[in-house]
Structure 1
Amino acid sequence: MNLEKKIAIIVKEDLMSWQKLNVTAFLAGGIGGSQEVIGEPYWDASDVQYLPMIDQPIIIYAATQAVLKEILKKGLSKEVEFAVYTEELFNTGNDIANREQVRAYKTEALNIVGLGIYGKKNHVNKLVKGLKLHD
């Protein structure tokens, strides 16, 4: 676990419950899939192996779409990486279509409903400062 880095997920506050869960899962997978944050596999006492998970806490926040857009804008100049989930992805059926939907919009025009952030702890903390934890 890298204690100098932090993971945060911010979800648009007015989504339906199933959408919030879906967005959170996809964003966490994006961070885990591209970073050195995956731990070792798990084993139970019966010697059954389970998949590894992200090896550090993930803090989940809620925000408006305007705040999500502002965080992305500010964060692009900091030492952080983003996973992005846009509203259009609720209507696609596969990864290729998802990437096409994101590619269709300029950064400032993205219909962001969720951001996953991974980077230096102080940079992530500045970006999420003032946000409420998701309940």
Structure 2
Amino acid sequence: MRTENAPDTRRDDAPVRFDTKIAVLLRDDLETWQRLNVTAFLVSGLGPAVPEVIGEPYADADGTAYLPMFRQPVLVFEGSKETLTAAHGRALSRALPRAVFTRDLFATGNDRDNRAAVAAVGGAQLDLVGLAVYGPRNAVDKVLKGARMHP
């Protein structure tokens, strides 16, 4: 507990460590534009669902305001269709916040049609091309077993 006269011993330059992880797992057979598109869509769901992942708004030295972003890095991984399916099952079994992107979504053009495409298929039959997950570091690491860092 810090008192009024006690010196502040916190270091602003000390490394920031997170006990949580934000990760995106992409299918390794996607084209570059698809990887970027899927990643953007997947992470867009985390902020509203898990508000603590969002930091404070930004401002430059001129006082121009910018939107807040994630407070921690987003790690991007890749894996096979089988790796993605297994990771999806592990994320579900751990009840971690997650977002999915299926191959069908490349043929839709809006949120309504995206949700309908996912709703039309049972969870075990989803043709997953991307998965975002957030949670304790060790739980997310277990979900991503078999995946490798995206090059």
TM-score tier, shorter chain, comes to over 0.9
Q: Is the 8 A contact 1:27 1:84 kept in 2?
A: yes
Equivalenced residue count is 135
Q: Is the 8 A contact 1:86 1:111 kept in 2?
A: yes
Q: Which residue of 2 aligns with 1:127?
A: 143
Structure 1 residue 38 corresponds to structure 2 residue 54: yes
Distance 1:103 1:115, change over 3 A: same
Q: Please list the CA deviations of residues 48-74 of structure 1 after superposition, one character each: whole Å capped at 9, or x if unmatched.
A: 001110111111000111110111112
Normalised to the residue count of structure 2, the TM-score between the two structures is 0.84
Taking only aligned residues, the RMSD between alpha carbons, in angstroms, comes to 1.5
Q: Which residue of 2 aligns with 1:83?
A: 99
Q: Which amino acid aligns with 2:78?
A: A
Displacement of 1:119 in angstroms is 1.1
Q: Which residue of 2 aligns with 1:115?
A: 131
Task: Report which structure shows greater RCO (CA 8 Å, sep ≥6).
Answer: 1
Q: Is the 8 A contact 2:87 2:145 kept in 1?
A: no
Q: Which residue of 2 aligns with 1:97?
A: 113
Q: Is the 8 A contact 2:79 2:146 kept in 1?
A: no
Q: Which residue of 2 aligns with 1:64?
A: 80
Could you list the structure 1 runs, at least 4 aligned residues long, displaced by more than 3 angstroms after superposition: none
Query: Structure 2: where are the runs of 5+ without partners?
Result: 1-15
Q: Is the 8 A contact 2:22 2:75 kept in 1?
A: yes
Distance 1:70 1:130, change over 3 A: closer
Q: Larger Cα Rg: Structure 1 or Structure 2?
A: 2
Q: Is the 8 A contact 1:85 1:112 kept in 2?
A: yes
Normalised to the residue count of structure 1, the TM-score between the two structures is 0.94
In the aligned structure 2, how far is the partner of 1:105 from the partner of 1:49?
Answer: 42
Query: Structure 1: where are the runs of 5+ without partners?
Result: none
Identity among equivalent pairs (%): 44
